[in-house]
Amino acid sequence: MTNEFLPEWLARSITAPDANAQAEARAHQAQLTKPAGSLGRLEQLAITFAGYQGRSKPQLDNIVVRVFAADHGIAARGTSAYPQEVTAQMLANFCHGGAAISVLASQLNADFRAVNLGCVAPVAPHKNLIDYAIAPATADFSQAPAMTAEQLNKALDAGFSQAQTGDLFIGGEMGIGNTTSAAALLAALFQLAPEAITGKGTGIDDATLTRKTQLIATALGYHREHLTHPAAILQRLGGFEIAALVGAYIGSAQRGVPVLVDGFISTAAAAIAVALQPALAPWLLYAHLSNEAGHKLALDKLSATPLLTLDMRLGEGSGAALAAGVIRQALALHNQMATFTDAGVSHAD
């Protein structure tokens, strides 16, 4: 698979962040009543967001949160501690406000929706649910391509459709078996050994981890001759919700909206997205270091430094929602602290 078979929008340009606005924000930081650099990465966050928004004093008022959910054929091989019915059950939980991301999105006053891309169990309609079902699940990628080309494009389009105007986009995911898919994607993209990138996901035992790792190795061998393009890697090893994240990330950046990437699975989507559109990279911030075994390795491959380390491994966009609060505080400090001149405070030459 090459770009000619992919959605037209995928090749649209992404504009670089505004360097002049960043320079103005950096100069403003130097005048605030604190020793230079004393607020650490909070200072750089404000400068980075100035570049995103093209103004020296950026705001974080309008946050969009979308949780994409889908089932995986590989889960039938026993790679998870939970049955596949949980995906649809958690979709309902998202919509009714009972999940971690639902609570955190509410705290952020975010525009929150869950997106159904295909579950093996029925999913009831709800005002907070966007139904974009493609199929009940992907195929078992240890034996066949996870998606057809048509299904991949539908999943990419679903994500692109949720890339809204705003100050920040957070994409979450839910799908029993999706850490297996994410590990396979990263192994193929970065040519990693399965055992180096595969972890325990929702808390599987050692025997299940061994089976999960072996299934990924089998899949990499089965698809080897086709894993030559990031879109082909995504089609053969990915999930509908992971492909939707890819579409949402690229679409957001094309609209000039930065993305806060969550944990292991979201990072796998980010890696594929950057491989497809390298100009996306400056628009991605990485929220936290997951407790999933391969996440640090994936972040290292992307030269990414996460904002938080809280030993989380929930997914859903939960770590990103927490990090958004930190960003909001960083911008408040940048915008509201007095300058040395305003406060009449002497400062170093």
Q: Other CB atoms closer than 10 Å to residue 106's CB: what's the count?
A: 13
Contact 200, 207 (CB under 8 A): no
Residue 322, token pair as written in the block: 């927490």
Q: Letter for the amino acid at 81?
A: A
Residue 283, token pair as written in the block: 């628009």
Residue at token pair 């991301």: 101
Phi and psi (nearest 5°) for 145?
Answer: -60, 135
Known catalytic residue at 316? yes
Q: What value does the CA radius of gyration of the chain take, rounded to a whole number of Å?
A: 20
Burial of 314 (0-12, 13-18, 19+ CB in 10 A): middle
Contact 283, 318 (CB under 8 A): no
Contact 216, 194 (CB under 8 A): yes
Q: Other CB atoms closer than 10 Å to residue 176's CB: what's the count?
A: 29
Query: What is the Cα–Cα distance from 276 to 253, expressed in whole angstroms?
Result: 13
Phi/psi region, residue 7 (left: phi>0; alpha: psi -120 to 50; beta: rest), is: beta
Residue 87, token pair as written in the block: 């995906």
Q: Other CB atoms closer than 10 Å to residue 193's CB: what's the count?
A: 12
| DSSP 3-state of 123 | coil
Query: What's the angle, vertex CA 207, arms to CA 243 and CA 91, rounded to 5?
Result: 35
DSSP-derived letter for residue 168 is: E
Catalytic residue (choose from 173, 241, 292, 316): 316
Residue 298, token pair as written in the block: 């994936």
Please give the helix or strand (H or E) that residue 286 lies within, else none. strand 284-286
- Residues catalogued as catalytic: 316
